[in-house]
Amino acid sequence: MSSLLNKKQLVIILFIVIAVLFRLIPHLPNVTPITAIALFSGVYLTNKKFAFAIPLFAMFLSDLFLGFSNITLFVYAAFILVAYIGISSKKISIKSILISSISFFLITNFGVWLLHYPKNFAGLIECYTLAIPFFRNSIIGDFFFAGVMYYSFEFVSNRYLKTV
C-alpha cells in the first residue's frame, strides 16, 4: 500500500511540474495553471504542508524567469488561500474552482488598488472594474487547467494506480 501512495504522490508531483511549465510558455494574460496547481495540491497531496509550499515554489521558480511584480506578496497570499480551499473542499469542483478564482481576483486586485490607485472608494471601484478582463482570462485558465489536471489525474489514477 505504501508503494501505491508513493507512486500516486509521484504522479501528482509530475502533473504539477508539467503544469508549471505552461506558465513559462507564451500565454494570454492570466491564463495560467497556478491557481489550478494550488487547488490540485490542496486536494491531492497527503502532506498538507506541501499543498501550501508547492504552488508558492512554482510561482517563485517561474518568477525567477518571468520577473517579480510589486504585488507578488498578494499573489502568493492568494495562492495560499487557494491551497486552503482545496484542502477544505477535498475535491475539485465547479464551486471550488470558482471560489478560488474569485478569491485570487479579490486579493490580488486589492494589492493593485493599495499600490496604484487613490485610496478611496472611487479608486477601489476603478481598480476592480479595470481588472474584469483579466478576471475573465483567469476564470478561463482556472477552469481549463483545473479540469485537465483533475480528469487526467483521475484517468491515470484509475487506470494505473489502482490495486487489483
- pLDDT of 23: 85
- pLDDT of 164: 46
pTM: 0.89
CA distance 36 to 111: 21
Percent of the chain with pLDDT strictly greater than 90: 66
Q: Is the predicted pLDDT of residue 4 greater than 90, yes or no?
A: no
Which of 3-7, 69-73, 136-140 bottoms out in mean pLDDT, i.e. has the lowest?
A: 3-7
Give the model confidence (pLDDT) of 7-19 as tens digits.
Answer: 887 888 888 888 8
The separation between CA 81 and the C-alpha centre of its own chain, rounded to angstroms, equals 10
- Cα distances (angstroms) measured from residue 58 to each of 26, 41, 118, 150: 17, 11, 32, 18
Alpha helices in 69-131 (DSSP H): 72-89, 94-116, 121-130
- The dihedral of CA 38, 78, 81, 90: what is its sign? negative
The CATH architecture assigned to 2-160 reads Orthogonal Bundle (1.10)
Which of 15-29, 36-50, 101-115, 137-151 bottoms out in mean pLDDT, i.e. has the lowest?
A: 15-29
Give the model confidence (pLDDT) of 58-106 as tens digits.
Answer: 889 889 988 999 999 999 999 999 999 999 999 999 999 999 999 999 9
Q: Is the predicted pLDDT of residue 151 greater than 70, yes or no?
A: yes
**b/e sequence 142-154, b meaning 16+ C-beta within 10 Å:** bbebbebbbeebe
Nearest to 79 by CA among 43, 142, 24, 35: 35
